[in-house]
Amino acid sequence: MPKLLFFVTEDWFFVSHFLPMARAARQAGFDVAVATRVRKDGARLEAEGLRVISLEAERGSLGVLDGLRNLARAIKIVRAERPDVVQCIALQPVVIGGIATKLGTGASLILAPTGLGHLWVEQGRATRILRGIVRWMVGSWLRGPNTRYLFENRDDPREFWLDPDGSEVTIVSGAGVDPAQFPLLPLPLAPPVKVAVVARMIWPKGIAEAVEAARYARVALGAPIELHLFGGLDPSNRRPIDASVLREWSAEPGVTWHGATDNAPRVWREHHVALFLSYYREGLPRTLVEAAAAGRPIVTTNVTGCRDVVRDGIEGILVPPGDIEAAGRALARLAGDPALCARMGAAANRRFHERFTEAEVERTVSGLYRSLTASAAGPA
């Protein structure tokens, strides 16, 4: 039985986003192990038939010593496991797991930078230098006949000098969502029109911009809306929002922070509009895919990842990143036109079924895994 080893930052991240890939790998005949920082979801991974390997890497750290320690751990794991295929998910594991694989074994590599995040958003001199090093390492040094790339949109491959239509690149429609968990339901009664943001509470996800846009729609435009924020704190992130700030926003009329939720279907069942004003370098935001599955119109930024889910004027409204008034006008427009909400929500649901289901993701990655298995086996 061939062995597939995943490197990923957090166990909860793998559970929420990548179980369809692990299931597809098992169906393709792989013994699957997951090297990750184990917290509350290790048992869930084991219940899926996956072997869990503790990798205590701090994802928010860019320190040299931390990086070397993480690399040493990764090399040790690769040499102990001797996998046939190593799949690295998110930028830090792509770099560390990729180097460990190249130094420690002859395994095939699948590099999956699901989103380029802070390193592609921040513009300081040190960040630009590091970005150049990572771009060269991922797109050149780790590139080879046994390396494949898995991206969630067509923009990101070009950041590494890769052709999105090339044979070494596979484009997968995000993490995949089970339509049975997000049934299409009628919009709830209004007013008020309830707008939901489901995201980690970090600044680059556009949380502050969402609050300001809702404030502008309510106060300046008189729209009967409420803003509801669903998401936990993320202290490991480099730009977390403090709980005191969220509580301060919640003291405003029409704004409520609910904390983390483990029931996204209920959120979309009870809300009319999805709002996501991220300026983060997204891969393909799961929160938008879930909202689309539930048939909710979407207001989001015209940036990589977000615009792969939403076409302006069809599934929702795209606004320039940072343009508070444009976002507020979009919310007010939807709040004042129930027919438009219903029409865009239905279009979002159709697009979800065409491109973003769990079954579609499993089909795509199954083909990738089987091709690597056939390549490793060689001619009969």
Q: Which segment of 67-81, 156-170, 261-275 scores lowest on mean pLDDT? A: 67-81
Domains 3-176+358-377 and 179-355 share a fold: yes
Q: List the domain boundaries for the chain.
A: 3-176+358-377, 179-355
- For 3-17, 19-33, 132-146, 366-380, which range has the lowest pLDDT when averaged over its residues? 366-380
What pLDDT does residue 378 have? 46
Burial label for 106, CB within 10 Å (0-12, 13-18, 19+), is exposed
Secondary structure of 268-305 in the HEC alphabet?
HHHCCEEEECCCCCCCCCHHHHHHHHCCCCEEEECCCC
Least confident of 51-60, 197-206, 346-355: 51-60
| pLDDT of 58 | 58
**pLDDT at residue number 56:** 73
Q: Is the pLDDT of residue 376 over 80?
A: no
The confidence score (pLDDT) of residue 379 equals 44
Residue type at position 203? W
68-76: average pLDDT: 88
Distances in Å between the Cα of 180 and the Cα atoms of 18, 44, 330, 357 are 17, 20, 30, 10
Residue with the larger pLDDT of the pair 328 and 114: 328
Nearest Cα to 175, choosing from 38, 56, 270, 282? 282
Residue 109 DSSP one-character state: E
Contacts of 338 (CB under 8 A, 6+ apart): 187, 190
Neighbours of 58 (CB within 10 A): 14
User: 56 vs 8, 39, 134, 156, CA distance in Å?
Assistant: 11, 10, 22, 28
Beta bridge partners of 227: 195, 255
Q: Answer with the residue of higher pLDDT: 203 or 65.
A: 203
153 vs 62: which has the higher pLDDT: 153
Q: Given a cut of 50, is residue 217 above it in pLDDT?
A: yes
pLDDT at residue 380, as a whole number: 39
Superfamily, domain 3-176+358-377? Glycogen Phosphorylase B; (3.40.50.2000)
Residue range 365-380: average pLDDT?
70
Q: How far apart are the first and last CA of the chain?
A: 17
245 three-state secondary structure: helix
Contact in structure between 110 and 148 (CB atoms under 8 Å): yes
Query: In the predicted model, is pLDDT for residue 332 greater than 90?
Result: yes
Query: How confident is the model at residue 311, as a pLDDT?
Result: 97
- pLDDT at 267 exceeding the cut of 50: yes
| Interval 55-67: pLDDT, tens | 876 555 555 677 7
Mean pLDDT (the chain, rounded): 91
Over residues 183-202, the mean pLDDT reads 94
Model confidence pLDDT, tens digit, residues 97-146: 999 999 877 789 999 988 787 788 778 888 889 889 999 999 999 999 99
Domain 179-355: state its class: alpha beta
Residue 341 pLDDT > 80: yes
> What was the pLDDT predicted at 167?
92
Calculate what percentage of the chain has a pLDDT beyond 70: 96
pLDDT at 219 over 80: yes
pLDDT above 80: residue 213: yes
